[in-house]
Amino acid sequence: MGADKTDVMSFDEGFAFLGEDFGPRYPPMLEGARSPEPDKKLLYVARQGCRVAVRRGRVIVEHDEAELLSVPTSQVGRLVCFGSVGITAGCRTWALSQDVSVTLASRRGNFLGSIVNDSWPARSSRVRAQLAFEGTDAEIAAARAIVDSKLGHQITVLRRFGRRQHADEVAEAVHQIQGMRRMLPEAATRDEVMGLEGAAAASYWPCVGLLMPEELRFSFRSRQPPADIPNAAFSFLYTLLLGECVTAIHAAGLDAGIGVLHSTEDRRPSLALDLMEEFRPLVVDQTVVAAARRGALTAGHGQAPPGKSGVWLTAAGREAVIDAYETRMLQTTKGALAGFAGSWRRHVYRQAQRLRRTIEYREPWTGLSWR
């Protein structure tokens, strides 16, 4: 290579290489801290008929009187139960007293609810602030910012996983999503903001399906029930993410039922869904596509539920996507938020705190930087 084509460049100053810009706006991964071992871990219990108890300082999972797992309570930071899994009174008492959240989901993975400690100081004043925030210009501005961040992350997913043979389809989907982003500043109501999000999704999901391995390709996003393995994986991991967002919202002293973007009229954790929006592509979509592309999620990871339509993940499929999800959530980054570094899981909690400041003090809310 000629000397005139060789140079030493700086990420601090920024540079261009092969048509791509590099610089400080890209949040780099922290050296040597990609997936640190957490002090406390999440315990997932999905085997039907199990019971979770706490005895002598240990969390114990039992099935038919046989002990399947026993770990010190000090090592469990959160509990996620799927389907017919029992929780003893002693376990509930321990969880509430130690601020260990419990997420409850159906066997298929649909979010049902959470058990969280509801005794944060000054929570009543924050709930009043949430009610006062409803219907204001600041609320619509925050709703627009939430959707704008989500659409930006969707574009990143498409560009990151796009391949030369699908360049035209990716370019067209990105063009359509960018068009929706440009229209967001003119959206004057919550319904208009949600309409633009839905229009962007109509371009995003078919393109995501095209970028999957051939045996896992799909044409549209299907939810209840999922029509294929990738959609089952998306729905399953969205449930896990929603449970974490509910906990983060409660930890910030907010009421999860009073939404900014999502309607507060439905019986759902609307504010947690708001918090979750930008993390859908950043965490879950990225995780599922990457798992499929490297062969961790395969065509053999689906099963037809007896007497029902749709597709469920097999036990091996759930294990594969949970492992990929945890790896993603433990990745440590800096630069996604100014002056803050930590795992993506910590970013969920930080964004909940920033959402609280937006509601209480009308501070502008901005999404995470991810490129």
Is 210 in the same domain as 309?
yes
> Which of 7-16, 261-270, 272-281, 356-365 is predicted with the least confidence, judged by mean pLDDT?
7-16
Is position 190 within any domain?
yes
Is 324 in the same domain as 273?
yes
Q: What is the pLDDT of residue 22?
A: 39
Is 241 in the same domain as 337?
yes
Confidence category of residue 122, pLDDT binned at 50, 70, 90: low
Is 339 in the same domain as 318?
yes
User: Which residue, of 62, 84, 115, is where some domain finishes?
Assistant: 115
Is position 268 within any domain?
yes
Q: pLDDT, tens digit, for every residue of 51-64?
A: 999 999 999 999 99
Is position 367 within any domain?
no
> Residue 309 and residue 319: Cα distance in Å, rounded?
22
Expressed as residue numbers, the domain containing 319 is 124-361
Q: What is the pLDDT of residue 105?
A: 87
Q: What is the pLDDT of residue 264?
A: 77
Q: How many CA atoms lie within 13 A of 208 on its CB side?
A: 27
Is position 217 within any domain?
yes
> Which of 14-28, 231-245, 267-281 is predicted with the least confidence, judged by mean pLDDT?
14-28
Is position 34 within any domain?
no
- What are the structure tokens assigned to 68, written together? 């399947």
Q: pLDDT, tens digit, for every residue of 63-115?
A: 998 999 999 999 998 899 988 999 999 999 999 898 888 989 888 778 888 88
Is 161 in the same domain as 128?
yes
Is 216 in the same domain as 109?
no
User: Which residue, of 94, 115, 136, is where some domain finishes?
Assistant: 115
Q: pLDDT, tens digit, for every residue of 137-180?
A: 999 999 999 999 999 999 999 999 998 889 999 999 999 999 99
DSSP state of 256: T
Average of pLDDT values for 312-325?
Answer: 95
Q: Which residues are annotated as a binding site?
A: 197, 262, 277
Q: Which residues are annotated as a binding site for Mn(2+)?
A: 197, 262, 277
Query: What CATH number is attached to the domain comprising 237?
Result: 1.20.120.920
> Residue 11 and residue 1: Cα distance in Å, rounded?
23
Is position 278 within any domain?
yes
Is 244 in the same domain as 351?
yes
Query: What CATH number is attached to the domain comprising 109?
Result: 3.100.10.20
pLDDT of 15 over the 60 cut? no
> Residue 243 and residue 323: Cα distance in Å, rounded?
17
Q: Distances in Å between the alpha carbon of 272 and those of 10, 78, 146, 192?
A: 39, 17, 12, 20
Is 215 in the same domain as 284?
yes
Is position 6 within any domain?
no
Is 289 in the same domain as 315?
yes
Is 102 in the same domain as 129?
no
- How many structural domains compose the chain? 2
Is 132 in the same domain as 237?
yes
Is position 140 within any domain?
yes
**Model-level pTM?**
0.83
* CA torsion through residues 260, 263, 265, 267, sign: negative
User: Which residue, of 82, 115, 148, is where some domain finishes?
Assistant: 115
Is 143 in the same domain as 283?
yes
